[in-house]
Chains A and B, each alone.
Chain A
């Protein structure tokens, strides 16, 4: 049953209408899938086949009254959709027309390491005027993305979606699909953002606790404020760069530009959601529509129906929605700290706009986010009311000091490490920051189960701890208290070795930690169908364990995907080598 929208003439009309709307709105080019009024990601031109050409160049971008220099691919922001088929080989020639070095990393794709695109780790980068040819087999299907791994180009536009269609039948049934690339955009160059944050850690935070708030009975009580003040910890330090600097975008469109994806009522619509932001974790929901999560980080999961999910930077989720009514639905991506949101629309025809809900109250951090949750249940409870109780316990002593070196012996305790979580909790089953109290179904990592059996059933032969460390006041970020600039040594793995990695977050911020070249299984529930991911968001004061089969020979980047954190030093190199004597 073809929906009326899919007749060829209608489709052409929609595309030109969308292009017209875009050109009227801001006189800039969008790739077909990102144009407003798109009938679906399958339509229109995409880059596919076995040979693809990409050109990186300087551009200009404006949205919502903000305008600045951008770095784009083939002249568009977001970059073109690359659509490939599992089982093929692809050659992608990338030409750099910038005055500085550039690169493209295929985020989530398992490629030979020398094609992974991280300058200084896997290849030498693409110098100005140079063309680098990436060539690799496409070994797995799903939703991925690509972005620069050079300088701060990722924050100023160099990102785009990748869809790999399965070689065989798709286990997910759907009538239509849309790609939703979420991002953040600021006219303040990321280098300048970093500078401002180094000068003042709370520079972009205009939602701190105030005396007026105290007198009005908002936020923490005086007692809690004093306890947090004694630790020099700010319960409102949720995001470094906020809506004060950022416009939030869906497919390059702000709320006013109202990106619209079409559907026919009753269709099963697959949304491929990609968080390509530099510094923003998003709460994603479509009020009035339940979402069935069918894939996470590209790989299928057993379907789970939810109303909202938090998508960390660099994660991707595929969801199915089934709009029955011929209404406009607002697609809402709300910044984690609720300093802003962007609304896009799913509608049966162009010209409709989904409602924009009001921003919800900004979250406050709790003792659990400091790794100090002493409550007996250790987690399965509401958080908001607990800060006071837990801190009361903490202040009674119990070696709940903020920097007890015995809790993380390998961490180098310098000025860059302000705190160590005394009791980091396993937070895989926790709702993410700010959604603890939401009155509807919220996805947690513990809800995810791989659709296919995990490929490597061996138990890990060893464990390593990786400590995520920071001094948020000085805006220093590190792993184990060290940065690459400090000369931090790589983390070594034997080829095909199976290792359990414990990520322990000693900071008050979530960190989306990304390992290149591998999927890992989050350790939750019985083995067999644990969710496989390439990026995992480690909640503040929390701990995440994953099991890794180190089957990607070579050197790989391993880092926080908050761009400024990575840039400031929250990055390591992982080496995977054949054991000696193993030819």
Chain B
């Protein structure tokens, strides 16, 4: 093995050296354009005018000497020899750069105001701003006679760093008012390559009574491609709530995607009018399998499980409600 490698190096170094010699000789012999003349076709017809002519058809056979192409270079398919070349002898100096000019060279040739306008347009090109709408979940939840529904949608407008983001989510059962319905509006600001800060407000239209909250949070892409977020909500009544969410797209095939999702809610104090007790309030786990007919349109099916925890669960039971529920879901995901 090692012998073979040595042989290969020896074989390769020969042509590498030869090339180098060749290079130096060329340098000496053809300081001007001699290289070109030396290899040119001797009887290339001189062209009067390129307009109507075809300079390259009808060459005589001897007008195309094979000698014009010396070459072939060794087969490089296995290895090549850059390490064999000598260390670069032409080390750069350490001169200082010139100052950056404050003027624009084009202003010497074209009206300055026109140049200013196009310069501004050029600078503006990189400023990206757009709007995006995503219906992440729009789903139907059959639940023992009382079928339900849920939605989760987002909208944003803005550029790479700053965006205005609106989001809404909620759920309910057909034939009754929604159990929950919230709308959030935040300023989203890129903090680093992966995470964004969110500052804004949230309003819950449901449950009753309505509540407004100030929102601060972080959302982004964690290692292992986990989409995560954590938010703190402070209501106009002073109660403080925490929410953390995570989801992951597991690609089974290019278009079939399994998406587990988790959400956990907590409260720092009892909020009896909302049926919330201090501590962990609830946990939601979902798993959806979607098929991306197109990137922007995918129906899905899955399950959704939620369970109220601790004091919140006790309060629910006291109201005669179950503390946990499990539902099959079908829905669509779409964005544009």
Contact = CB atoms under 8 A, between A and B. Distances in A.
A555 B123 contact: no
Contact of A207 (B50, B54, B161, B254): B254
Contacts of A529: 23, 26-27
Contacts of A428: 82
Given A209-B251, A232-B225, A441-B77, A170 B44 contact: yes
A208 B80 contact: no
B26 to A, nearest CB: 6
A528 B27 contact: yes
A529 B77 CA distance: 23
A333 B32 CA distance: 37
Contacts of B73: 304-305, 447
B132 interface: yes
Interface size class of B (residues with CB under 8 A): 35 or more
Contacts of B92: 459-463, 499-500
Interface in A469-510: 471, 473-474, 476, 483-487, 489-490, 492-494, 497, 499-500
B269 interface: no
Nearest to A452: B35
Interface string B59-95: 1110111101111110111011011011011111111
A171 B106 contact: no
A194 B54 CA distance: 43
Given A42-B57, A415-B190, A438-B77, A173 B68 contact: yes
Contacts of A523: 88
A19 to B, nearest CB: 18
B209 interface: no
Interface in A429-471: 429, 438-442, 444, 446-447, 449, 451-453, 459-464, 471
B76 A442 contact: yes
Interface string B95-124: 111111100111011110011011111111
Interface string A206-249: 11111110000000000000100111100000000000000000
B223 to A, nearest CB: 5
A114 B19 CA distance: 40
B144 interface: no
Contacts of B90: 459-460, 527, 547
Interface string B243-256: 00000001111110
B319 interface: no
Interface string A182-202: 000000000000111011100
Chain B interface helix/strand/loop/mixed? loop
Contact of A211 (B65, B192, B252): B252
Q: How large is the interface on A (under 10, 10 to 19, 20 to 34, 35 or more residues)?
A: 35 or more
A582 to B, nearest CB: 11
B64 A174 contact: yes
A165 B55 contact: yes
B33 interface: yes
A124 B128 contact: no
A173 B56 contact: no
A414 B85 CA distance: 39
B160 A555 contact: no
Interface stretch (A153-161, A278-286, A391-399, A567-575): A567-575
Interface string A290-301: 001010000010
B252 A210 contact: yes
Contact of A231 (B60, B63, B223): B223
Given A208-B254, A485-B126, A171 B76 contact: no
B71 A459 contact: no
A169 interface: yes
B20 interface: yes
A169 B42 contact: yes
A524 B82 contact: yes
A176 B57 CA distance: 6
A211 B117 CA distance: 52
Contacts of A361: none
A555 B109 CA distance: 12
B50 A165 contact: yes
Contact of A226 (B83, B94, B224): B224
B160 A474 contact: yes
6 contacts: A198-B128, A415-B161, A429-B82, A486-B126, A567-B125, A568-B126
Given A473-B194, A568-B126, 18 more contacts: A40-B57, A119-B122, A120-B123, A124-B117, A169-B36, A171-B35, A171-B40, A174-B64, A211-B250, A211-B252, A303-B70, A305-B71, A429-B80, A442-B77, A452-B30, A462-B93, A493-B98, A526-B88
